[in-house]
Amino acid sequence: MKHIPSIWSLLFMLWLFSMGFSAQPIFPKPLSPRIANYTIDVRYLPELKMLNGKEVLIWHNTSKEAIGELQFHLYLNAFRNNRTTFMKESGGVHRGFKIDEKKGWGFIEIWRMVWVRQPEDVYSILSMVTEKSPGVTDLSDRMEFIQPDDGNPEDKTVLRVQLPKPLAPGDSIVLRIDFVARLPQPPFARTGAWKEYVFAGQWFPKIGVYTAKGWNCHQFHYNSEFFADFGVYDVFITVPADYVVGATGLEYDVQQTPEGQARHYFHAEDVHDFAWTASPEFVEFKDRTQDVDIRLLMQPDHVDQAERHMRAAKAAVEHFQNWYGDYPFPNLTVVDPRRGARGSGGMEYPTLITAGTAYGMPQGLRFVEAVIIHEFGHQFWYHLLASNEFEESWLDEGINSYTEAQIMHDLYGPEGDMIDFLGLKINDIQFQRSRYISFADLDPVVRPAWLYYSGTSYGVNSYSRPAVLLTTLQNYLGWNTMLKVMQTYVSRYRFTHPTSQDFIKVASEVSGQDLSWFFDQALFSTRTLDYSASYLISKKVKKPQGYDFTLFVKQTLKEAGLDTGRIATYKQIVPEDWSEDTTLYYSEARIRRKGQFRFPVDVQLVFSNGDTLRDHWDGQDPWKKYVFIRPDRLLEVQVDPEQKILLDRNWTNNSLTLRPYPRGILKQTFRFLFATQFLLDQPEWLGLTRLLLFSF
């Protein structure tokens, strides 16, 4: 038979593929749609920091349309020169790290792309196919760079390939792509090489996501991460023989090459990205918790912190599995970036995360723990629930920052769960809230990542503000309901591309109430929330004087026209007759909603006899007034006394008291005085902070 229908040839090829490469599949059944499947053979050239790669991509058109073009991410081209969109937006600085402008630029070039129309097994395609092979269509001339986001002609991070014939719905395409790439030095924006260390992230031509709206393939921006389809990855990495290699997935095999190098074979299923790292200096540690094998690749400098890393990784796995759902993958690799290469630190890839520490990091500075818990959290919010980080970054980073704070609190709380050092105690969520306070109203949370006011606004709205708003929601719904929301969200949308609306739908469904009023404000507006206690008085009601005067306390307020909808009146103790012994106080408290964000809130009022009244205000009106005529003075009014609403930017103005509390100011004043006296006397002690700064 001359012509084999493409679907059968693909099945045949997949069968060969499975026989040849993955004799032992990780999962008995696919967990994801497996739309984009890659087999890559890459050789690393350490002297040049270059990658020489061959890639076979099998991509399935699962849409309902015929597709006439393909779009690819070429992320490494963001580091090609200083005119790319990434470099222009970042000013050449990412998280404080810079590329070496003399010799550190990176790039990726596809020098051949062919459509293998009569596919054989992947081995043959990798080793033998050229543009002249039978049944092959050369697409190299049909490639062009496009700039869908900003039209910057200097940006070459998105490649479009026109197909000679549209790909029918349900059909698949097999491409052989030959590429060469150079990694930035030192590692920059999560990827690169430095000395003997290499961390390859976003390193291969990667197809975009075809959605109902067409291709979703954004340029690589300073403020954005990624979006991709799930698939199976088989990657052969050739590096010098003494290199220790870590990568996404499981290592199935390693073979020595005749040139004295080692060819490592990694296999990963149901993942949407693949990263790898290699260094002859890695020191390996292994352990296991629940059903997950954990492998640490530590720098020699940090071997004494290996236990700390492992403890955090285990705690992360356990908390996530116990709280949010099953982590289906059998392993996790934690990579400790090399000194001088921290630009590759604090990043997540499927089954592989990078941390980051410094020699001498004090135990009380729990940045190592926070970063590992955070990066592992991405295995859920970025990996299992593969949301579009270009367009809705909060679904990954924000939810993850929330869960990170919860776990840090559970592990090291209640005080100083992130920093507990030299008397300074800061919780993770306090840190998040401090960032939110400063940039609460510049952007809505949901916004394409490159359109935020600034990098800081992107950071606040993608990380801190969602953490704060979800903690507020948790306090509103209760821990158990919130946990159920998260669990349902994970179980329902794992191995899909959920959106903000999906999360809102789940939250409303599980809580049994329409929460769109909350999310509309919290995610899609720049409204801020600030309740305040604005007025408090309590004064004696004057004795009846003059002619024909009668005081009917019960009626007083109504007659004065004060008993309106906004005014709560409490008239519980009212003597019928005024006597000489009677002392009554007129007390009035006013509270305000200063921001536009409406949120129900508790109000507490405390009287001089110790009576405490609680009210629940829906926060719809701009203010509410409380008026009392009682024998006791109203001494305190406090909005949100338990500080449940973390979205409230200013808790200091939430209360008013008629009782002075000078001791607080006194203590802080004398603390300040003492510190000033001490530093005036021996300013050289400030020099000790130099050691501390080393940790950063």
Partner 1 sequence: MVGKSFRIGLKTGLGQRKLVLLYYLASLLAALPVTLAFSQAMGSFLGRSLIARDLGGHFNMDFFFEYLFFGKNGLATLPFLWLLAALVYLLGLLLLSGGLFAQFYQDRPYQAQRFWADAFHHWGRMVRLGLLSVPVLLLLLAIQFLEVGLQRLIFGKQPYEYIAYWGRVVQMVLAYAGIWIFSLIFDFARWDLVANQQNKTRYSLMAGIRFVFSQFSAAGSLYALFLLTSGLLTLVYILISGLLGANAVPAIFLLILIQQIYMWLRAGLRVGLLAGERELLRQLGSN
Q: How far is the CB of 443 from partner 1 (least distance, A)?
A: 18
Which residue, among 204, 180, 271, 198, has the nearest Cα to 40 in the 3D structure?
A: 204
Which residue, among 163, 109, 139, 126, has the nearest Cα to 38 in the 3D structure?
A: 126
Would you list the DSSP string of 377-410?
HHIIIIIIB---TTT-GGGTHHHHHHHHHHHHHH
Q: How far is the CB of 360 from partner 1 (least distance, A)?
A: 5
- Residue 448 to residue 218: CA distance in whole angstroms: 10
How is the chain split among helix, strand and coil, in percent rounded to 5? 30, 30, 40
Q: What are the residues whose beta carbons fall under 8 Å from the beta carbon of 156, sequence distance 6 or more?
A: 74, 77, 80, 84, 145
Q: How far is the CB of 427 from partner 1 (least distance, A)?
A: 7
Cβ proximity to partner 1: between 584 and 591 the closer is 591
Q: How far is the CB of 653 from partner 1 (least distance, A)?
A: 7
Would you list the DSSP string of 179-242?
EEEE--SS-BTTBEEETTEEEE-S-S-EE-EEETTEEE-PPP-TT-------EEEEEEEEEETT
Residue ranges that bind partner 1, judged by CB under 8 A = 195, 299-302, 339-340, 358-360, 415, 425-427, 430, 433-434, 437-438, 536, 636, 638, 643, 649-658, 660-674, 676-678, 680-681, 683-684, 687-688, 690-691, 694
Q: How far is the CB of 566 from partner 1 (least distance, A)?
A: 23
Cβ proximity to partner 1: between 4 and 426 the closer is 426
Q: How far is the CB of 284 from partner 1 (least distance, A)?
A: 18
Q: How far is the CB of 434 from partner 1 (least distance, A)?
A: 4
- Residue 249 to residue 263: CA distance in whole angstroms: 16
Cβ proximity to partner 1: between 143 and 537 the closer is 537
Q: How far is the CB of 115 from partner 1 (least distance, A)?
A: 46
Cβ proximity to partner 1: between 513 and 695 the closer is 695
Residue type, 688: L
Cβ proximity to partner 1: between 552 and 694 the closer is 694
Cβ proximity to partner 1: between 340 and 478 the closer is 340
Phi, psi of 231 (to 5 degrees): -175, -170
Which residue, among 533, 487, 553, has the nearest Cα to 626 in the 3D structure?
A: 533
Strands 197-200 and 276-279: antiparallel
Q: How far is the CB of 451 from partner 1 (least distance, A)?
A: 25
Q: How far is the CB of 128 from partner 1 (least distance, A)?
A: 44
- Residue 460 to residue 451: CA distance in whole angstroms: 14
Q: How far is the CB of 587 from partner 1 (least distance, A)?
A: 15
Which residue, among 85, 137, 133, has the nearest Cα to 113 in the 3D structure?
A: 137
Order across the sheet with 206-207: list the strands: 143-145, 158-167, 67-73, 206-207
Q: How far is the CB of 166 from partner 1 (least distance, A)?
A: 53
Q: How far is the CB of 423 from partner 1 (least distance, A)?
A: 8
Which residue, among 149, 251, 112, 273, has the nearest Cα to 204 in the 3D structure?
A: 273
Phi, psi of 483 (to 5 degrees): -60, -40
Q: How far is the CB of 656 from partner 1 (least distance, A)?
A: 5
Which residue(s) pair with 42 in the sheet? 53, 237
Cβ proximity to partner 1: between 7 and 688 the closer is 688
Phi, psi of 525 (to 5 degrees): -135, 170
- Residue 422 to residue 43: CA distance in whole angstroms: 49
Phi, psi of 285 (to 5 degrees): -130, 140
- Residue 593 to residue 597: CA distance in whole angstroms: 8
Q: How far is the CB of 612 from partner 1 (least distance, A)?
A: 13
Q: What are the residues whose beta carbons fall under 8 Å from the beta carbon of 630, sequence distance 6 or more?
A: 570, 572, 573, 584, 585, 587, 607
Which residue(s) pair with 108 in the sheet? 181
- Residue 488 to residue 475: CA distance in whole angstroms: 18
Residue carrying structure tokens 């590692």: 187
Cβ proximity to partner 1: between 258 and 660 the closer is 660
Would you list the DSSP string of 334-355?
EE-PPTT-GGG-SEEETTEEE-
- Residue 571 to residue 563: CA distance in whole angstroms: 12
Cβ proximity to partner 1: between 334 and 361 the closer is 361
Q: DSSP code of 627?
A: E
Cβ proximity to partner 1: between 428 and 632 the closer is 428
